[in-house]
Every structure is written in C-alpha cells, then in structure tokens.
Amino acid sequence: MIYLNGKWMPIEEACVPVLDRGFIFGDGVYEVIPAYSRKPFRLNRHLNRLQHSLDGIRLKNPFSNEEWKQLLEQVIASNEGEDQYLYLHITRGVAKRDHAFPLNVAPTVFIMSNPLLPPPAELLVSGASAITALDNRWIRCDVKAISLLPNVLLRQLAVDVQSLETILIRDGFLTEGAASNIFIVRNNILLAPPKSHLMLPGITYDVVLELAATHNIKHEVREIAESEVRTADEILLTSSTKEIMPITTLDGKPVGTGQPGKMFAQLHALYQNYKATQMRGHVSDPLQS
C-alpha cells in the first residue's frame, strides 16, 4: 500500500496528473529512509535533511515531523517485511506549465515502501568494482532533488561495464558516488570529503564518522585529491540501502591488495552492531527519538 495525497492505495492504482511539476520539471525533493525490524533508522536526521532539501527548493514542508512520523509508521504497518526502505517524494504540485512557481497549489506527496535487502554477501567478501567519471551535476548536490538525470547517466556508465558505482571527481577532487558517499583509507587513516554543496550529506556517512570517533579510529575530514583515490589502500562506499561496502577494483585496477581491507571489516562490524543496538533501543541517541 502506498500513500498519495492523503489516500492509501495499491501502487498499481496510484496516478499523478501529467501536469505535475515533478513530471514536467523534476521540481521536487525526496528521502530514502531504512526501517529495520519495522523501526525507521535515524528518522530525525532524515527529516532534518528533508527540511534542508525543501528549503533549498523554496517549498513549504507539508507536514510537521510528528505528522511525518505517523505517516511513515502507517506505511511500515501496511507493508510486509521486517526491513523496509521508505521512499518519500514531494513535488510542487499540479499547475499549467510555467517555470515560475504556481500560486496556491498543493504539493504532491507520495510515500512507498520496498523490501530492504542487505548487500549480496559475496560482494562483502570479495568487494565490488567501481569506475570514475567527471562530476557534471549541478552545484546544489546537498539538495536531495528528484531531478536525477545526471546521476542516472553517471550510474549507468558503471552498469554498462558491470560495475557497482561511479565515483565522481570534480576539479581534481573526490565528491561522492552517483548514489552513495565515498571514503578512502590511506596509511590506516579513514579519509572523508567534507560536506559541502557538492555532495549529499549522507546519513550513513555521519554514522561512519561517528563510529570512527567513538572507537578511536584515526580519521580526517578533508578534500581528497583524485590521485589519492587512485592510490588508496581501501575505498568504502556508504548509503542507506547499501550500508558499507568495499570497493576493491577501480577503473579495472585493484584497490590496495584488491581484497576488502581491515578498515572495511572493522567499520562493517561496528555498523552492524550499532544498527542492532539501535533497533533494540539499547543505545540512547538523542536524535533518534
């Protein structure tokens, strides 16, 4: 069952008018929120990022955080599966085609849930391959906009050569993946590019940096040159649906030893443990409640 503008229905019955500005202009924002054991993970952080995206496109939030929480709970309850990923999507609504914002138009709000499957075990054991490409997206990549055409084209470059992800380089520096954040490891130090308008502030990215800080893993948040990515000991990919994955081949060449490294093993174990304790409610995370 999905939610569309105040109504609940099977996804096959859900329709939006062709003049929806999401359809016409890609004028909207979205969020993807994992729910483990039927409980949304880091919900407040996702709702804060949603607000940042809405502010970025000057669209009023149609709901309070409390209303979002209730709706998302209903979506989880009306779908099967312990682990789900919730997709919510807001557009500037339906109006005669004109670039300028329409006046007094209700936004379109859509929420669906899909099963959340862990990354394939073999990719965690042997690692995944990635390619690089120039980051040719706009310069508000901190806004989670539904207009994803550059990301779609960039990600397809990877799919075309049976790779998992396209790692993006802008002006000689690492930004992120086409649909993920990217960390590298050099000399046992975890390196993360700093948050800016050139990348999406990933919720999983934050978890990884918090785990590094609380477990005394050496880490630095700083600009990462393309040459450092190409000679990294390890490359790690993070996202809400892929969690943490090791990239062991880059542009056809092995990364470090060509096997998932020690930093991956440590962070992956810490992440799984953190997730489990969060879901059991044993860790008090003020931003979770």
- Identity of the residue, 21 or 144, whose beta carbon is nearer to ligand PMP in the bound complex: 144
CB of 88 to ligand PMP, least distance (A): 13
CB of 202 to ligand PMP, least distance (A): 3
Q: Hey, what are 192's tokens?
A: 């993360």
CB of 224 to ligand PMP, least distance (A): 15
CA distance 87 to 32: 5
- Identity of the residue, 29 or 200, whose beta carbon is nearer to ligand PMP in the bound complex: 200
DSSP state of 94: B
Residues that bind ligand PMP (CB under 6 A): 32, 151, 176, 179-181, 200, 202-205, 238-240
What is the amino acid identity at position 265?
A
What is the amino acid identity at position 44?
N
- Identity of the residue, 202 or 260, whose beta carbon is nearer to ligand PMP in the bound complex: 202
Task: Please report where in the chains the tokens 């391959």 appear, as a residue.
Answer: 129
Catalytically active residues, by annotation: 144
Cβ 146 vs Cβ 91: under 8 Å: yes
CB of 180 to ligand PMP, least distance (A): 5
Helix (H, G, I), strand (E, B) or coil at 121: helix
CA distance 93 to 40: 27
Q: Hey, what are 54's tokens?
A: 């809405």
Task: Please report where in the chains the tokens 């997709």 appear, as a residue.
Answer: 87
- Identity of the residue, 31 or 93, whose beta carbon is nearer to ligand PMP in the bound complex: 31
Q: Hey, what are 146's tokens?
A: 């539904």
